[in-house]
Amino acid sequence: MRTLDELGLGESAVIEKIGGEGALRLHLLDMGLIPRTKVTLEKRAPMGDPIEIRIRGYELTLRVSDAKNVVVKEDAK
């Protein structure tokens, strides 16, 4: 089981499950991080946090601690 923060630069995956509880989980879902959605890791800050992903044609910046709540699987292409 991999999480979003474990992707390499330029690597794509498909969201499998959103973890977290309460407001955090709802916040991630509201940002468009929903199951069966393809994501690509675009950038990582110099110190590793935050990360920038591409999802549904736009860039989204996430803290690594939030990205750890997003379970992904390899993109079937």
Q: Please report the pLDDT score of residue 20 as a whole number.
A: 84
Q: In what order do the strands lie in the sheet with 51-55?
A: 2-3, 70-74, 12-18, 38-44, 51-55, 58-62
pTM: 0.87
Per-residue pLDDT of 22-71, as tens digits, reads 899 999 999 999 999 999 999 999 998 999 999 999 999 999 999 999 99
15 pLDDT more than 90: yes
